[in-house]
Structures are given as structure tokens and as C-alpha cells.
Chains A and B, each alone.
Chain A
Amino acid sequence: MAIAKVMGIETEYGISSPGNPEFNPVLASSILINSYAGALRRIRWDYEQESPLRDARGFEPVQEREPSDEDLGLANVILPNGARYYVDHAHPEYSTPECAAPRDLVIHDKAGERILEASVELAREVLPPGERINIYKNNTDGKGNSYGTHENYLVDRATPFARIVRDLMPFFVTRQVFTGAGKVGAEGPRGQDDPPAYQLSQRADFFEAEVGLETTLKRPIINTRDEPHADPEKYRRLHVIIGDANMSEVATYLKLGTTAIVLKMIEDEFLPDLSIDTPVAALHAISRDPSLKATVTMAGGRTITALDLQWEYLDHAKTYVKEHDATPTNADVLGRWESTLTALEEDPMTLAKQLDWVAKRKLLQAYIDRDGIAWDDHKLALVGLQYHDVRRDKGLYHKLVASGKMERLVTEAEVQAAVNGPPEDTRAYFRGECIRRFPEAITAASWDSIIFDTGADALQRVPMREPLRGTREHVESLFEEAPDAGRLVELLRT
């Protein structure tokens, strides 16, 4: 029986300081985060349980962990909404708290954008006059450098990894028809090889392998990092690196909702073999054809479009949900999935209010028509980049929202609540509430632990190895009874 799909998104944001030749992105990222975090800076990240080099296929870690960025003095904070906000390489990274439903994660993903936006504003106070930091929620600088947006899904450890690979690969190759964030031109090794004017995905150009552990070179469609941040006997955390950063709430919702259902079908061995030949080449071909006519070859020799392969997944999902998992959330996801595929088939441009790649394409086409410029004009590259600016008064996605040209799925009040508070139905609730109530008594925290200094002789480590424990329902009464962290730890022991 498939397990609940607890999920989260990590986003590495693009960072720049226009007009500043001395710009140091590592330092700027740190300034940004520290400006926002204030007093929470003193709580450190607990690396005890982390092992990013462990491989889902069973290989052992091959080397000791490098000194962490935090060891080097870089910002790394846990927020009262249960999120982690830190410097990763040369980018600010925001990892949402764990959510139990796709719509909740849309809210928390958007809350992350608002936190970056607020950070930009707060950082101005410490930057020299005239200097500014710009932040982009995208995945490429247009010059061959990519940074990631990683989804994470809780998966049953008992499910063979080979089955995940077989059934997820064709889905990941084709879901870009609705998850793509759109990109002008092409990059990477094949960038100049008959480059398209425009493609569906920001990320497709950067993928060169089917399965593997790497995330920065030879990127694989299925990433094998095996670092569950939960009970490793029971769970995997599927670390998905192929997704684009979405501005559109509908695209984020579809990306999460459909992937969660597909993973449940995999856990229940519900799907037939839908394997395709040469998935990496198929990924590139589909991304480079916004007409959606490109075909891929299935294992039996049949050729099929990305849309038709998505229809096959949807048909299985409908039967699966009806027989095994009939919830209002799933019904809503299936409805969206179906209406999206139907519209993509009829005329993709009718989804300009829903999907990033379509919205961006429509905007670019409007500039081409009005200004009589060509696809390689710098202005179009700028429009393509500024679409992702997190500032609501400057970002072009936000301009479309403000003029009613993008559909929203969640309310701004829900987003603001998620800037400050955790989801209530995962362990993120416990983490966030502890940070909010007892920041002075916490020395370190991570996804699956909190370390308290309650004044006792030893530090007290509270493990949180079950992602669905520590919910509001479980622990609210403990918080009500505990005036301080010492009492809370005592109550947790009984």
C-alpha cells in the first residue's frame, strides 16, 4: 500500500548586483539571508544525519563530507515556518517545510519567494548606497550555468529503486509540457547545434544521463541521492532534480500533484512498462518543440508524442485513484491534469494564464510583433530573465498577475500566513513552533532533529524521524502545557 506523499521544494535563486563589477555572490547571499534572519542566526544546522553522497542503488559514500558552508561562516537558518534558508555554493537557497498536500506546497513555495523579496528590501539597509541585489527564481543564466529547483517526495523504502526508475523516467521526460518554465534559445554542449528560438524547459539542455548521483555535472534525469532525513529503514526521500523553477501556481500544483500520484502508482506496482528509448535525447527533443508534435519511441517500437504519453499516465491514474485513493485532493489534481492536456492538444497558447512556458512565449511574441525584433534580440533575453524577478513591482510574471493575466490558485493571505507559520499536518509544525516559541533554548536543528539547551547538564536531542508526526494535532497540547523548552522536553519523554 502506497504511503502518504510528504513533499518539499528546494530552490536555488539566481543572484546578481547590476552595475557592480566587484560583486561576490557568496557574500551577497549571506548578507541577504542574515538581513532577513536577524536573531535566528545563532541556531546552527545539525548535520548529524546528513549523507548527500549515499546512493539509492546501495553504494556506500565514497568520501568524507567537505567542510560545510556553515563551517566557513555562511548563513544557514531555520525559520519559524519550518523552512531552511541558507547559502548553497554561490546562491541563496530556500527549502520549504515538508507539506502533506500539493496545494499546501504551492503556498509554501510562494512564501519562499516573498521571503526572498523581503530579504532584498532588508539587505538595502546594509549595502553601500546605490548597490542593489536582484533575485531571480529561474534555473539558468543563459550562458551554460544552471542552478536547481529540487522536489522531494517521501517514498516507501520497500519499493525497488529499479521500478522507480522504469516508471518515472517516461513521466519525467514528458511532464515538461506543463512544468516547463520556458527558455529563449539553447545552451550547453548541444546549444549551438541547430538551436531552437524557444523551448519548453529551462533545465532540459543540462541533462546528459539517465540515472546517477551527480547534480552539478552529467546531470541525470533520475537522481539517486539517498538521504532520507527520516527513518532510513522505512523511507526514501526521492530527490528530483529535473524540474524547472515555476512562477505559475498552476504549474507548481500540477508538477507536485501529478508526480505524487505517479509515485503512489509505482509503490503499488500499478503501472505497466511505459519505457521509452533514449530518454535523454527524448527530453531534449520534446523541450525544443513548443508545437508539441515531437515523438519519442517506446520500448516496443511504437512512436508517441509527449502529450499522448501523458494521457496514458493520466488514464492509469484515473483508474488507480478510483480504486485505491479516492480523495478530494486527487480528484482535483486529476481534473486539472486532464483539462491541461486537453487544452495543450487543442492549442497550447490557450494556457497562457496557467503555464509559465506559454505565458512567457506569449509575452515574447507580443514584443516581437510590436517592436519588429528577432528571437535573438537582447531585449527578449531580458524579458525572459525578468519574468522570474521576485519583486512584485518589477518581476514580469507579477505584472501579468496584477493585470489578471495569470491564474492564482491560492490567496495572498494564505501565502503571508506561510511566511510566518508552518504547515500544521507534518513534523514541520513541531520544528516551526519550537523555533517560534523557544528560539533561545535551541542550539541546532535539522529536518529530523532539534537540539535543545534547556540548562541541564547535557544538550537534549529530540529526533523527528517520522515526517507525519509532530503535527498540530499531536503536539499542540504539549506546547500549551509547556511554558519553557525544559518542560517541553520532559513532556516529550513521558
Chain B
Amino acid sequence: MPEQERKKVQKKSGGGGEADAGQATASTKGEKLKEEMDDILDEIDEVLEENAEEFIKSYVQKGGE
């Protein structure tokens, strides 16, 4: 059964003649994704703890469990 699943997946990503159209869409999609991520990074920058190096150095835990 895993074999069948793999074949299905390969077929999906193959796609032959549609390659050009596919690439165009992928690049527009890529830019949109980047914009989306840039927006969330801007939001995160506002809440990210200050002085990353010092903050990370001082985060030391005792073992647990």
C-alpha cells in the first residue's frame, strides 16, 4: 500500500505539459507567500524579546522529570 501512495504523489507533482504555466503560478505564489511572511515578521519584531544574545544566554534551566 505505501507503494501505491508514493506513485500517486509522484504523478501529482509530475504534470508534463503544464510545466510553464505551473512555473509562472509558482513564482507569483512565491512572492505572495514572501509578502505574507514579511507581514508576520513585522508583527513578531514588535513582540520579540530585546537583546537576543543576552536573553538566550540567560535562559538556563535545571533538569526536570
Contact = CB atoms under 8 A, between A and B. Distances in A.
Contacts of B52: 377-379, 381-382
Contacts of A382: 48-49, 52, 55-56
Given A346-B12, A378-B56, A386 B48 contact: yes
Nearest to B39: A403
B65 A141 contact: no
A345 interface: yes
B64 A90 contact: yes
B65 A145 contact: no
B60 to A, nearest CB: 5
| From B2, B52, B60, B61, residue with most partner A Cβ within 10 Å | B61
Contact of B59 (A146, A150, A370, A385): A385
B7 to A, nearest CB: 11
Prevailing SS type, chain B contact patch: helix
Contact of A342 (B9, B39, B43): B9
B8 to A, nearest CB: 8
Contact of B64 (A91, A345, A363): A91
Interface residues of A, number: 53
Contacts of A393: 47
B37 A15 contact: no
B56 A12 contact: no
Interface stretch (A307-315, A327-335, A451-459): A307-315
Interface residues of B, number: 31
A143 interface: yes
Interface in A144-199: 145-148, 150
A462 interface: no
B1 interface: yes
12 contacts: A14-B59, A90-B61, A140-B61, A216-B64, A311-B5, A345-B5, A366-B38, A370-B37, A378-B56, A383-B44, A399-B40, A399-B47
Given A142-B59, A308-B2, A345-B5, 20 more contacts: A15-B61, A90-B64, A91-B64, A93-B64, A141-B60, A145-B60, A363-B40, A363-B44, A366-B37, A367-B41, A369-B34, A370-B38, A378-B56, A379-B52, A381-B56, A382-B52, A382-B55, A383-B48, A386-B49, A403-B39
